[in-house]
């Protein structure tokens, strides 16, 4: 049973989770277009397992996060389960998921979590395609620069269309479910969450400079610096912030990522 002992009053009505910056960018662009503020759910990490009450203010309740294996990134699913939104007064509720390709049943998952734990109906779920970042499994990888740049270019007008649809209440829909969504979202996603979250294969090569950026940027506080090298603490969520943001390309995952590309969102 979750006992709610932490209370926050917030005017930040768009809550986001990010690993490599794609969802952070989308959240901030939506906030600018909708006249709202944003809140990184990583700021709640120290209290979220004990339960958090959040007093809502503003015109919108927005959720923005990446798709991980055709479902919600684990930290966002945990956030929606362990927080309680207080003062809900029929704000417009929406979710935008960022994906490299397709989204599976992430839309159904966020709607179910909001309804079950806060009795809130999510009116719309949208998707925005952004560059691929999953590189810790063979057969996957980052997009080449041409494709990544094209995705980023296409994302901007899509974000604007989504913001306009949210404001106007139009029937505009943009959610790329992909093929076999039930198989991917209801079977592969739970397996992914159950069996691929470990961090034992992460390590830093000799090229590590000890800058500590990986520890600073880890949204799960899963990395500490020990003897000037990163040490993973065992509660990784595979956001891959550490491996993509390392300025020395020194962080690797087993023998898979040495020749893989790296990506994180950089402002133009």
pLDDT in tens, 178-199: 999 999 999 999 999 999 999 9
**What domain range is 176 assigned to?**
6-192
What pLDDT was estimated at residue 9? 47
Residue with tokens 């809900």: 88
Q: Which helix (H) or strand (E) holds 71?
A: strand 71-72
Q: Which helix (H) or strand (E) holds 167?
A: helix 145-168
33 and 121 in one domain?
Answer: yes
What pLDDT was estimated at residue 8? 44
Distance CA 132, CA 240 (A): 11
60 and 142 in one domain?
Answer: yes
Tell me, yes or no, whether 185 lies in a domain.
yes
154 and 237 in one domain?
Answer: no
How many CB atoms are closer than 10 A to CB 144?
A: 11
Q: Which CATH number does the domain housing residue 79 bear?
A: 3.40.50
208 and 230 in one domain?
Answer: yes
Last residue of a domain, one of 192, 210, 238: 192
Q: Which CATH number does the domain housing residue 202 bear?
A: 3.30.70.20
Q: Which helix (H) or strand (E) holds 95?
A: strand 92-99
Q: Is the pTM of this model over 0.85?
A: yes
pLDDT in tens, 210-246: 999 999 999 999 999 999 999 999 999 999 999 999 9
* Residue 268 DSSP symbol: -
Last residue of a domain, one of 159, 192, 225: 192
Last residue of a domain, one of 166, 192, 218: 192
pLDDT in tens, 141-158: 999 999 999 999 999 999
Q: What are the structure tokens assigned to 163, written together?
A: 């913001």
**Domains held by the chain: number:** 2
- Closest to 184 (Cα-Cα) out of 68, 31, 28: 68
150 and 69 in one domain?
Answer: yes
Tell me, yes or no, whether 64 lies in a domain.
yes
Q: Which helix (H) or strand (E) holds 28?
A: helix 22-34
238 and 114 in one domain?
Answer: no
Write the DSSP assignment of 183-216 as a string of letters.
IIIIIIHHHHHHHS---TTEEE-TT-----HHHH
Q: What are the structure tokens assigned to 117, written together?
A: 């734990």
Mean pLDDT, residues 104-110 taken together: 97
What pLDDT was estimated at residue 49? 87
Tell me, yes or no, whether 31 lies in a domain.
yes
102 and 70 in one domain?
Answer: yes
* Residue 6 DSSP symbol: E
206 and 185 in one domain?
Answer: no
Distance CA 117, CA 65 (A): 18
């Amino acid at each position: 049973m979750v006992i709610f002992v932490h209370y926050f009053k917030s005017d930040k009505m768009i809550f986001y989770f990010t690993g490599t910056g794609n969802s952070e960018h989308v959240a901030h662009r939506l906030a600018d277009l909708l006249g709202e503020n944003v809140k990184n759910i990583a700021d709640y990490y120290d209290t979220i397992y004990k339960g958090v009450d959040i007093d809502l203010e503003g015109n919108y309740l927005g959720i923005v996060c990446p798709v991980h294996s055709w479902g919600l990134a684990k930290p966002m699913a945990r956030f929606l389960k362990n927080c309680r939104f207080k003062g809900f007064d029929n704000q417009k509720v929406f979710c935008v998921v960022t994906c490299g390709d397709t989204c599976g049943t992430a839309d159904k998952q966020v709607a179910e979590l909001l309804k079950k734990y806060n009795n809130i109906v999510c009116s719309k779920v949208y998707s925005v395609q952004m560059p691929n970042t999953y590189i810790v499994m063979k057969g996957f990888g980052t997009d080449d620069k041409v494709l990544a740049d094209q995705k980023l270019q296409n994302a901007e007008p899509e974000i604007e269309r989504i913001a306009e649809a949210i404001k106007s209440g139009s029937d505009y829909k943009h959610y790329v479910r992909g093929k076999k969504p039930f198989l991917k979202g209801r079977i592969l996603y739970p397996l992914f969450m159950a069996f691929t979250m470990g961090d034992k294969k992460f390590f830093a090569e000799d090229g590590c400079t000890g800058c500590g950026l990986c520890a600073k940027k880890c949204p799960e506080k899963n990395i500490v610096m020990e003897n000037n090298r990163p040490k993973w603490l065992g509660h990784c969520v595979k956001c891959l912030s550490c491996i993509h943001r390392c300025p020395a390309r020194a962080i690797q995952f087993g023998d898979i990522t040495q020749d893989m590309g790296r990506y994180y969102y950089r402002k133009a």
